Amino acid sequence: MGQVVRIAIQKSGRLSEKSLEIIKNCGIKFGSDSRVLKEEASNFPLEFLYVRDDDIPSYVRDGVADIGIVGRNEFDEQAIDLEVIRDLGFAKCRLSIAVPNDFSYQGLASLEGKRIATSYPHILEGILSEKGIKATFVQVSGSVEVTPAIGLADVICDLVSTGATLAMNGLREVEKIYTSTAVMIGRKKMGNDEKAAILSRLLLRIDAVMRAASYKYVIFNLPEEHLDQVAGIVGGMKSPTVTRLMEKGWLSVQTVVAEDLFWDVFEQLKALGAQGILVTPIEKMTE
């Protein structure tokens, strides 16, 4: 039996769902029974461990898993000497300072000497120490929002999504201090050439899936006299693919456009007479 790479993934939740989705999009087949804590892919040398997210960095450090997918916030807070192999870009969240509604906040300096409740004291201390600010950290693992109301803390530092929970507890978000996304982590040396080769194959697939998600495939008809202008707008992997239509003076143009530029490009194409603009997602893509 050959080597397999063992990956630790959160056993449930949004991070787990997105992690498994990107692996499925790599063409890797595995079961979907949430009660299973360990399983192997059927068509790729990859074994899954489904565990608590805060255990993932230590599992990788100790060699229980070869790699793991975890929120950067969890990775940075534990400060374990591992490598970020890829920033996967999903599961975005922010770590913010929130204060009671009657607290006069004038920037991070307002935290000097205050008691701050947080689940991320290591990250917070690093940020405040860079500014020369000293505070007392009250470490809590859950329900951070309630601590000012019961007198445990003056302000809080917590992950925020909509801010609704803060408002329910008489707090308001005043400053974002840190952002997090999902990252793939591993030891700085895999220590096994066969496993390193498997990881390279996996990363090749993941990179293709991630790149594809950032682009759209666009096809449209265009008056021939505007081709040079359009080529300067859309570019493409190398240059647009152009085909003549039966109707004289018209071309069909195919190209790839970055997702974040698409609507600007769309408006410019319309202004140059483009018609029948068809936009489709891309499954996989390499340079």
For residue 160, which of 171, 147, 148 has the smallest C-alpha distance?
A: 171
Q: Which amino acid is at 91?
A: A
Cα–Cα dist 199/166, whole Å: 41
Sign (positive or negative) of CA dihedral 26, 28, 30, 36: negative
Count of alpha carbons within 13 angstroms of residue 243, beta-carbon side: 8
Which are the contacts of 47, defined by CB distance < 8 A and separation ≥ 6? Answer: 4, 5, 6, 7, 38, 39, 40, 41
Cα–Cα dist 22/40, whole Å: 16
What percent of the chain is modeled with pLDDT above 70? 97
Per residue in 139-165, pLDDT (tens digit) is: 998 889 999 999 999 999 998 877 788
Q: What is the CA radius of gyration of the chain?
A: 25
> What's the CA dihedral at 143, 144, 150, 156 to 10 degrees?
-170
Per residue in 61-98, pLDDT (tens digit) is: 999 999 999 999 999 999 999 999 999 999 898 999 99
Cα–Cα dist 280/264, whole Å: 17
Q: Which domains does the chain have, with CATH numbers?
A: 5-90+182-212 (3.40.190.10), 93-180 (3.40.190.10), 215-281 (3.30.70.120)
Query: According to the model, what pLDDT value does residue 238 have?
Result: 65
Cα–Cα dist 70/93, whole Å: 13
Per residue in 7-64, pLDDT (tens digit) is: 999 998 889 999 999 999 999 999 866 677 899 999 999 999 999 999 999 999 999 9
Count of alpha carbons within 13 angstroms of residue 69, beta-carbon side: 29
> Strand pairing of 136-139 and 93-100?
unpaired
Sign (positive or negative) of CA dihedral 148, 153, 156, 158: negative
Query: According to the model, what pLDDT value does residue 250 have?
Result: 94
Q: Identify the residue whose tokens are 């201390």.
A: 125
* CB-based contact 45:198 (threshold 8 Å): yes
Q: Would the pLDDT of 236 be above 70?
A: no
